[in-house]
């Protein structure tokens, strides 16, 4: 299942107190100086001392505030942010986890095939030859790219070694939308984020068994008129379609029935003109 594992955004619709509240209770707060022209920064840490997020405000950014969340709290904070405040997404990390014998090597093969097809830059971290038990990491895309992937052996990280899951592997896509795409990406799901580039869509088809529609991270994405009409029709008549499909026995029969009904109605309109 795809989910957000990191998310950052800017907004003028909420102050830093409201953004900090999105993380919920039980976190300690550490104040400091901001960066990127923000005057102040509030780091939020869990009971183990790990920072799970931060908010920034003030300074040269005026009324704009910033929020960042990372790790396990990301899905709930993203959902809360999206339901309450309009914002512009500056970075989105979408991840998929795998846990099976040989998972890393299998996924690595798919990644390297996509790397070759799309002529991507890439790099490897870790001692693959002498100390593979410490974990291997493969990157696709350069650090400056709008879209970058990290494939790594999550279960071999020191902080997760106690779980005894050495085959646990994570594929994590990082997208940093261009200015005109930040608003559009603030509405995309964790799976739709994989539509940010041709190669990430290709990779999604290889490792996620999932077709992902294009959502270019460098341009504003808008639904086509036909897609908008289809979404409206499904929301309006979805229960009826489901009931008919169950009665007819299959979605294929429903499609044929709808075609016959539409052709019948079109013929009736022609006759009454």
Instruction: Look at residue 93 in the predicted model and tell me its pLDDT.
Output: 98
* Interatomic CA distance for residues 19 and 209, integer angstroms: 36
Q: Are 87 and 31 in contact (CB under 8 A)?
A: no
- pLDDT, mean of residues 119-126: 94
Q: Are 233 and 240 in contact (CB under 8 A)?
A: no
Average pLDDT of every residue of the chain: 90
* Nearest CA-CA partner of 148 in 95, 81, 83: 95
Lowest mean pLDDT among 42-56, 72-86, 105-119, 198-212: 198-212
Q: Which residue has the tokens 């079109």?
A: 266
Q: What is the average pLDDT across 168-181?
A: 93
Name residue, tokens 């014998």.
101
Residue 69 has pLDDT above 80, yes or no: yes
pLDDT bucket at 212, cuts 50 / 70 / 90: low
- Compare 161 and 215 and report the one with higher pLDDT: 161
Arithmetic mean of pLDDT, 132-141 = 92
pLDDT in tens, 217-228: 765 444 556 666
Asked whether residue 229 carries a pLDDT value surpassing 60, the answer given is yes
Check whether 271 has a pLDDT greater than 60. no
Give me the half-sphere count of Cα atoms (radius 13 Å) on the Cβ side of residue 203: 35
Question: In the prediction, which pLDDT does 179 show?
Answer: 84
Considering Cα of 130, then 134, then 135, then 141, what sign does the dihedral take? negative
Q: What is the mean pLDDT of residues 168-174?
A: 96
35 vs 268, residue with greater confidence: 35
Which helix (H) or strand (E) covers residue 185, if one does? helix 182-185
CA distances from 236 to 195, 252, 261 (A): 27, 20, 18
Q: What are phi and psi of 8, to 5 degrees?
A: -135, 150
Q: Does the global pTM surpass 0.85?
A: no
Query: Residue 109 pLDDT > 60, yes or no?
Result: yes
Q: Which of 10-14, 19-23, 170-174, 203-207 has the lowest mean pLDDT?
A: 203-207
First to last CA, the chain: 53
Rounded mean pLDDT, 207-224: 64
Of the two residues 169 and 251, the one the predictor is more confident about is 169
| Residue that is written with structure tokens 């992902």 in the block | 212
Q: Note the pLDDT of residue 192.
A: 94
């Amino acid at each position: 299942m795809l989910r957000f594992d990191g998310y950052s955004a800017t907004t003028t619709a909420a102050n830093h107190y409201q953004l900090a509240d999105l993380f919920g209770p039980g976190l300690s707060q550490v104040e400091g100086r901001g960066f990127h022209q923000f005057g102040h920064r509030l780091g939020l840490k869990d009971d183990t001392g790990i920072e799970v997020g931060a908010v920034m405000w003030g300074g040269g950014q005026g009324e704009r505030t910033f929020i960042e969340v990372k790790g396990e709290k990301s899905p709930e904070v993203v959902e809360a942010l999206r339901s309450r405040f309009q914002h512009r997404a500056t970075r989105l990390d979408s991840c998929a986890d795998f846990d099976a014998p040989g998972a890393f090597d299998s996924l690595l093969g798919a990644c390297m095939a996509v790397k070759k097809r799309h002529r991507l830059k890439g790099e490897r971290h870790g001692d693959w030859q002498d100390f593979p038990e410490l974990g291997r990491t493969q990157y696709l895309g350069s650090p400056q790219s709008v879209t970058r992937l990290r494939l790594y052996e999550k279960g071999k990280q020191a902080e997760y070694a106690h779980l005894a899951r050495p085959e646990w592997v994570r594929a994590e896509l990082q997208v940093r939308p261009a200015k005109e795409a930040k608003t559009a990406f603030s509405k995309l799901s964790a799976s739709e984020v994989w539509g940010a580039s041709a190669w990430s869509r290709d990779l999604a088809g290889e490792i996620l068994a999932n077709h992902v529609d294009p959502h270019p991270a460098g341009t504003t994405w808008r639904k086509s008129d036909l897609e908008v009409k289809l979404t409206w029709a499904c929301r309006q008549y979805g229960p009826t379609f489901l009931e008919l499909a169950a009665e007819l026995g299959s979605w294929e029969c429903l499609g044929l029935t709808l075609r016959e009904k539409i052709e019948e109605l079109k013929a009736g309109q022609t006759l009454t003109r």
